[in-house]
Amino acid sequence: MGTYGKKDGGQLTNIDHVLADPAFNGSMRAAANYFKGVHFMLSNKVPAAREYYPKMGVSRTGNTLDRSITSTAAGSTSPTAPSTK
């Protein structure tokens, strides 16, 4: 799925394939949702990014991930790791 950061066309196509194909296991689908969310977050498309995090089994409410989305949209260039609490 490439390195962290915005994705190019081919990488987004691969991520979309993983998300659409039920043959991929849950871990791969969670990773694809994470990378697509990060792509949108770093592209300053926060509403689109927020759609992908719940799909990987992470709750946004009050955790580090939600603050990361907010701070990245405000100008930070790197996402914060989600809280493990």
The per-residue DSSP string of 15-84 comes to: HHHHHH-TTS-HHHHHHHHHHHHHHHHHTT-HHHHHHHTGGGT---TTSHHHHHHHHHHTT-SSPPPPP-
Instruction: Give pLDDT, residue 85.
Output: 46
Please give the torsion angle defined by the CA atoms of residues 34, 11, 20 and 58, in that order, rounded to the nearest 10 degrees.
Answer: 0
Walking along the chain (85 residues) 10 residues at a time, the average pLDDT comes out as 82 95 93 93 93 76 51 51 47
Instruction: Give pLDDT, residue 25.
Output: 92
Distance CA 41, CA 85 (A): 22
Q: Is the pTM of this model over 0.75?
A: no
